[in-house]
Amino acid sequence: SQQGEEDPQALSIQEGENATMNCSYKTSINNLQWYRQNSGRGLVHLILIRSNEREKHSGRLRVTLDTSKKSSSLLITASRAADTASYFCATDLESSYKLIFGSGTRLLVRP
Partner 1 sequence: KAGVTQTPRYLIKTRGQQVTLSCSPISGHRSVSWYQQTPGQGLQFLFEYFSETQRNKGNFPGRFSGRQFSNSRSEMNVSTLELGDSALYLCASSFGGSYNEQFFGPGTRLTVL
Interface ranges with partner 1 (CB under 8 A): 2, 30-31, 33, 35, 40-45, 48, 88, 90, 92-93, 96-104
CB of 87 to partner 1, least distance (A): 12
Strand-strand pairing, 105-110 and 10-14: parallel
CB of 81 to partner 1, least distance (A): 22
Judged by beta carbon, residue 8 or residue 16, the one nearer partner 1 is 8
Judged by beta carbon, residue 28 or residue 96, the one nearer partner 1 is 96
Burial of 22: CB neighbours in 10 Å, binned 0-12, 13-18, 19+ = middle
CA angle, residues 71, 34, 74, in degrees to nearest 5:
55
Q: Residue 32 and residue 29: Cα distance in Å, rounded? A: 7
Judged by beta carbon, residue 101 or residue 108, the one nearer partner 1 is 101
